[in-house]
Structures are given as C-alpha cells and as structure tokens.
Amino acid sequence: MSYHPSIALIGECMIELRETHRGGLTRSYGGDVLNTSIYLSRLMGEDAKVRFTTLLGEDPFSAEMAVAWEREGIDCDTVGRVTERNVGLYFIRTDKTGERSFHYWRGQSAAREIMDSDWTSLRAQAMGSDWIYLSGITLAILDDTGRKRLLSELAIARECGAHIAFDGNFRSALWTNPLAATTWHEQTWNLCSLALTGVEDEAAVFGDTTPEASLDRLRDHGIAEIVIKRGQQSILMHADDKNQSIKVMPVGNVVDTTAAGDAFNAGYLAARLKDHSSADSARIGAALAAEVIQHTGAVIPNVHMPTLF
C-alpha cells in the first residue's frame, strides 16, 4: 500500500470582491492559505490528504465555501462553525500592469477565533498531520494569546514528527505594532523545516537589504530548506546544504498577480511530496505561478491548470 501524506493548512478564507474594467463587481472567495490549499489539492489528487483548517460562520457564504472546498477535494474535517459570526471580506483593484491593491473588512471573521479553547480538539486533528502549513497572515489575524497557543502546539507537533512550512506573507495593515510582527515571525521561523517566503516580505518585517541577507538570517534559525521568491527574478534557495539560484521564465502576459506566491508554494510542496528535488520543485512552483498570473482572480478555473507531473 502506498503512503499518502496528510497536510493541514491553517488560515482564513474571505469573500473576494473584484472591480471589473467597467466599474462592476465580481464575487468569489480567497485567502492566501486557502489558495495554496486548493492548488495543492488539485496537484496531489488522491495522493495526499489536504486539510484546510479554519473557522466559518453560519452565514450562506460560509456554507457556499465549504461546499466548494469539498468539490476541490479538500478535506474539511478541521473546519469549524461559529454561531453569530461570518466570514471576512476583501476588495481587489488591479492596475494596468497586473499589480493589485487590497482593502479588507475582516473584524468579525470567525477564523480569528481558531486558537480559542473551544476548538482544541479540532486543532489536535490538524496538528496530527504529517505537514502543517501556515503564513504570516495566519499569525496576523490572531491576538497574542492565540499566537502563543499556536506556536506551543506547533512545537509539540514538530516533536511528534510533523514538518512545519511557513510563508512569511506580511500585510502591514494587520499589525498595529511592526515590532510585534518581527517577534512573532522570528519565533515561527524557529520551528520551521521549510521556509517559503518572499523577498519583499522579509525586507518589510526584518529590514533585510538583500535577498542573500534574508537567506543567511533564515539559515541562522536552523531551517534546512529555504526558498525565497523574487517575482520574475531568479529564486534564491538553500537546500541539501548548499545555496542555489533557480531561473524563472519571464511571463509577457501578466493579467493579475494575485495568489502568485500561494500557487508557487502549492507547486513546490506538491513536487516535494512527490519526491522531486528542491530545484525541480522550485521550477514546478514557478510554472504554476506563471499560469496563475495570466488569469484574473486568486484561483484559476481548473481547466487552465497546467500539466506539471
């Protein structure tokens, strides 16, 4: 019998409103960790148990999301429901070059309560996975008590053999104190076996002046595998006890850069779970990201998924 790993991705999903070129709006849903969950589920199929770990409300949008995730093959056994709560909302504007700006309404989001004691058993199920994935936004939506509990549970999971993957995704608007972001990111890096982060995020949180400085700092945390994304510039990596630079093929038709990093992470993780080398995994992640940025929205239609394996 072949081994099928489990991976729990802890985060938040929100309603996504997008302005069209004619001034109208389209509605979908997304969130950095959720985007990675969907792409990872599509790539792994039945070869892995992909869990999205979050809380939803009792509103119609929450019900719609859960149904859609199950259709994507995501296991929802670590999705809880909170009465008198709903899901957050964000609005995207995209400029002529495909770069986007975000505006958020997430104060009543149920996912902010994921670390409350009411959800201990749900989290225990997630923490029992082979892999646990989270992002800087996962940290940002929690209060300090929730962050302490999350890191404590991650430390226990790591001691029990789980691999921790962290994307240092940073949104300054979610942190009232920049120093707090630095402190919590640093503590999370101490627990990681895989770093998947962006050069701009590390510069914003830690003040790194070069990608190489970020790589050296992350190595000081004892992280065995480090991937630093740099848009359409080469990917900087440390794996197998050596530094590498992986070229990225340029994309001429950039429509929307939303979820590019999330898609890369899914491609990289899927490739590693399928026993590809770290370098090949980076190329596979970049290939998926390249396809995603040629479409609007965080999650592209399944028919546009490239053949990567």
Q: Which domains are seen in the chain, by residue range?
A: 6-304 (3.40.1190.20)
pLDDT at position 93, please?
Answer: 77
Q: What share of the chain is helix, strand, coil (3-state, %, to 5)?
A: 40, 25, 35
Strand partners, 222: none
262 catalytic? Reply is: yes
Active-site residue, selected from the candidate residues 201, 262, 275, 280 = 262
Extended beta strands in the chain, E state: 6-10, 14-19, 25-30, 49-56, 79-81, 88-94, 100-105, 131-135, 163-167, 194-198, 225-229, 235-239, 242-246
Residues 6+ apart with CB under 8 A from 118: none
Q: Which two tokens stand for residue 3?
A: 């081994």
Mean pLDDT of the chain: 93
CA pseudo-torsion sign 137, 141, 147, 152: negative
pLDDT (average), residues 89-106 = 77
Judge whether residue 1 has pLDDT over 50: no
Query: Distance (Å, rounded) from C-alpha 129 to C-alpha 49?
Result: 9
pLDDT at 71 over 90: yes
Closest CA to 131 of 281, 269, 238: 269
Q: Give the integer Cα–Cα distance in Å for 150 and 147.
A: 5
Residue for token pair 């792994």: 44
Mean local confidence (pLDDT), 270-283: 97
Using a pLDDT cut of 90, give the percent of the chain over it. 80
Instruction: Give the integer Cα–Cα distance in Å for 182 and 42.
Output: 33
- Mean pLDDT (whole number) for 183-212: 97
Give the pairing of strands 25-30 and 14-19: antiparallel
Residue 172 corresponds to which tokens in the numbers above? 């300054």
Query: What pLDDT, in 10s, does the model give residues 141-181?
Result: 999 999 999 999 999 999 999 999 999 999 998 999 999 99
The pTM of this model reads 0.94
Instruction: Please state the rounded mean pLDDT for residues 39-51.
Output: 97
**Phi and psi of 241, rounded to 5°?**
65, 25
φ, ψ at 23 (rounded to 5°): 90, 0
Lowest-confidence pick of 28-37, 102-111, 171-180, 294-303: 102-111
Strand order in the sheet with 100-105: 25-30, 14-19, 88-94, 100-105
pLDDT surpasses 90 at 305: yes
What distance in Å separates the CA atoms of residue 307 and residue 309, rounded to the nearest whole number?
A: 6
Assign residue 155 a region (left: φ > 0; alpha: ψ between -120 and 50; beta: otherwise): alpha
What token pair was written down for 79? 């999705």
Q: What is the CA radius of gyration of the chain?
A: 18
